[in-house]
Amino acid sequence: MKKILIVGGVAGGASAAARLRRLDETAGIILFERGGYISFANCGLPYYIGGKIKSKAALTLQTPESFHARYNVDVRIFSEVTAVDRQAKTVTVKNLRTGESYTESYGALILSPGAEPVRPPVPGMDSGRVFTLRNIPDTTKITDFIRGNGPKTAVVCGGGYIGVEMAENLVRAGLSVTVVELAGQVIAPLDYDMACDVHRYMERKGVALLLGNAAKEITDNGNGLTVTLSDGVVRADMLIMAVGVRPESALAKAAGLAVGERGGIVVNGRMQTSDEAIYAVGDAAEVTDFVTGQKAQIPLAGPANKQGRIAADNICGIPSVYEGTQGSAILKVFDMTVATTGINEKTAERLGLNYDKSFTYSEGHAGYYPGAAGMSVKIIFEKTTGKILGAQIVGFGGVDKRCDVLAVAIRAGMTAGGLARLELCYAPPYSSAKDPVNMAGFAAENLLTGKVKNFHWHDVKELPRDGSVTLIDTRAAAEYKKGHIGGFVNIPLDKLRERLGELDRGKTVYVTCQVGLRGYLAARILSQNGFDVYNLSGGYRLYDSVCGVKGEGGGSSCDI
């Protein structure tokens, strides 16, 4: 009989245990969990704090009793594995209720300890008004504090997924919220130009953003906190520390297993560690980035579940390989949706890839059907092949399914031309005949085939305003008057053909419109009439989002 020990439940460990039992009814399976919960919806914890999820019981997917009844797994909660003896193939387990320790032998061992919240060395972190969020007990502490103390204000340190979700849900719980983030943007997987829409939206929802800032000291004065920042001071009734997580690999290190630069346990495609009898899955395991092939630490529930299944397959003699993580993730920000997959431009630039990018703006369903709302789509692709490397979408209805399609496209090695040719479901309540994914493909394919040349929002400041080039805004006069980029003159698209004689063919032309479509049409007219022309990708809308052009006459920090 095989004897398999699993350290840690939740996504990776519980999935491995269930798969093991489905494959082998005779195996002896013991699952050790340091806490009292073996399978809970950790991604749902912020929504319980905000009141969207009403019942704490709804967060518990399996209890030790239900898991044993269904899968015949020996579940031991409040049991911490403190050491691994690889030679003897035993683990030392401490019963946290009694304080007693004992050993348990294994034929195969799966490590699924997860990741722990980073607690930076900030003075005052031990205050009872300072919280982190990882598990149900953490959630209980936060909700009990809110219900028992009635706080009015909160600081969230960290603008990542957990930080942004907590900001939203604290607002829903009735608090005024300030987010402090060391980087210049929230949600690191987004590029800055895509994060700007999120910044504006969060501020409209009442969340104050202090970007490029960090907590240096926390002072509890008995009835509130004073948080000293690298730039300024903020006061609040409570603080959530959400600056990131780190893999819990101490047990693996102590056992002499190989650990990567980022602290993750090194594994092969079979999820085996440097000891072939020991496997590691979930947030504690180092993964390979599917797009770049580089080692990475990407803590996501979906990959953890798949890794648990793959480890179980291999233990049971079924060849199974994990092919890498591409970082497909989605985030709810009030009514906005943020989704990413593959690599972002920051990564492509850092790795020196030969890439290009395109921005498109589409509505989630047919514009004439009520309730249509827009989404910004950015894709990164190889210049030589058109292969899709990454995608980011920020918007409202339909963002999730478009990013899912793009995630499949990346996994399948599709190109921009492939996106253009996809046949996707269409009916007015759900999409347009030219789906936003198709539109992204069209835009990238036009670039790759030379039908248009783009310039970008960050290029605008370098454009000369001395008359040596021609700068044209092709929007309607009313749109132009509301705000435009400094130096661009207004020639509406529908008047362009009759005004070609006003333009000098010896000068390069740069055109813009609202979102890039009319600019593309203008570029096609101009290029076929002998002009060298570039179109502003994403148009004035993207430029305004990033640079904050205001009012008639234009001008902004990006171009002046």
Q: Which amino acid is at 187?
A: I
DSSP, residue by residue, 230-285: TTEEEEESEEEE-S-EEE--HHHHHTT--B-TTSPBP--TT-B-SSTTEEE-GGGB
Degrees, nearest 5: CA angle 302-308-310:
105
Structure tokens at 514: 């609202």
Exposure string of 2-22, with b = 16+ CB inside 10 Å and e = fewer, is eebbbbbbbbbbbbbbbbbbe
Backbone φ and ψ for 155, nearest 5 degrees, come out as -110, 135
- How far is the C-alpha of 20 from the C-alpha of 14, rounded, in Å? 10
DSSP state of 515: S
- How far is the C-alpha of 114 from the C-alpha of 476, rounded, in Å? 54
Structure tokens at 377: 């789509």
Total residue count of the chain as it appears in this document = 560
Kindly tell me the number of DSSP H helices and DSSP E strands found in the chain: 16, 32
Structure tokens at 233: 């001071």
- How far is the C-alpha of 493 from the C-alpha of 362, rounded, in Å? 20
With H, G, I as helix, E, B as strand and everything else as coil, classify residue 140: helix
Other Cβ atoms within 10 Å of 214 Cβ, number: 17
Tokens 């919220």 appear where? 177
Structure tokens at 452: 């248009």
Nearest 10 degrees: Cα torsion 467, 469, 470, 473: -100
Q: Which amino acid is at 179?
A: V
43 is catalytic: yes
- How far is the C-alpha of 518 from the C-alpha of 472, rounded, in Å? 11
Catalytic residue among 43, 196, 425, 513: 43
Backbone φ and ψ for 514, nearest 5 degrees, come out as -80, -50
Other Cβ atoms within 10 Å of 370 Cβ, number: 9
Catalytic annotation, residues? 43
